[in-house]
Structure 1
Amino acid sequence: MTTIQILLLCILGAALLPSVVCNSAIGPDDCCFSFYPRRVKKSLVTSYYLCDYRCPKTGVILVTQKSRHICADPNLSWVQGIMKTMDEKSF
C-alpha cells in the first residue's frame, strides 16, 4: 500500500469512529419527558418504577393492567399514594 492509500484509510476510519461510539453508548431506557395530565385510578395500576437518575426529569412510570406505561410526576400526592399502596402490597 502506498502512503496516500494508508492516509485515506486513516481519514475514513477517523470519520466513522464517532458514529460507532455513539451507537454503542449505554444510556437510560425509560425517561419521562412529559407527565400524564390526569389522575390514574389506583385499581388500574399493577406496579411502578422510577426513571433512571440520568434522565432529565425525575419521574415515576406507572404500569397499568393493560401493560401501558404512564409517566407521572412523583411530587403529586396521588402519585405518592399509588406508590405507597404498591409498596404496602409487596410486603
Structure 2
Amino acid sequence: MRTAAILLLCILGAALFCTVSCNSSTGPENCCFKFFPGTLSPSRVRSFILTDDRCPKPGVILVTKRNVNICVE
C-alpha cells in the first residue's frame, strides 16, 4: 500500500512539473493576425516594429503618434 502511494505521488509530481514547464515556453511577442486594409499617411506614423520571424505571417507594426499599433503587410 505504501509503495502504491509513493508511486502515485511521483506520477502526480511529474505531471505537475510537466504542466508548469510546458506553460513557461517563450513564443513570439509581436505578431499580426489581422492586417489594416487601407492606407495610412506617413505623417501619422511615429515608429515601426518588424514582427518576429516565428510569427505565422510576416508583417510590420506601425506605431502612430497616438500610440495606436496598426499591423500592415
Task: Let me know the Cα RMSD of the aligned residues.
Answer: 1.1
- Structure 1 ranges of 4+ moved more than 2 A: none
Q: CA deviation at 1:22?
A: 2.3
Report the counterpart of residue 5 of structure 2 in structure 1: 5
Q: If each structure's strand is expressed as a fraction of its own residues, which one has the higher value?
A: 2
Map residues 1-91 of structure 1 onto 2, 5 A cutoff.
2-73=2-73
When the two structures are superposed, what TM-score results if normalisation uses the length of structure 1?
Answer: 0.72
Distance in 2 (alpha carbons) for counterparts of 1:45 and 1:22: 38
Distance in 2 (alpha carbons) for counterparts of 1:40 and 1:9: 59
Q: 2:62 is aligned with what amino acid?
A: L
What percentage of aligned pairs have identical amino acids? 56
Distance in 1 (alpha carbons) for counterparts of 2:16 and 2:56: 29
Instruction: Identify which of structures 1 and 2 has the higher relative contact order when contacts are C-alpha pairs closer than 8 Å and 6+ apart.
Output: 2
Distance in 2 (alpha carbons) for counterparts of 1:22 and 1:48: 32
In the alignment, structure 1 segments of 5+ residues that lack a partner are 74-91
In the alignment, structure 2 segments of 5+ residues that lack a partner are none
Q: If each structure's helix is expressed as a fraction of its own residues, which one has the higher value?
A: 1
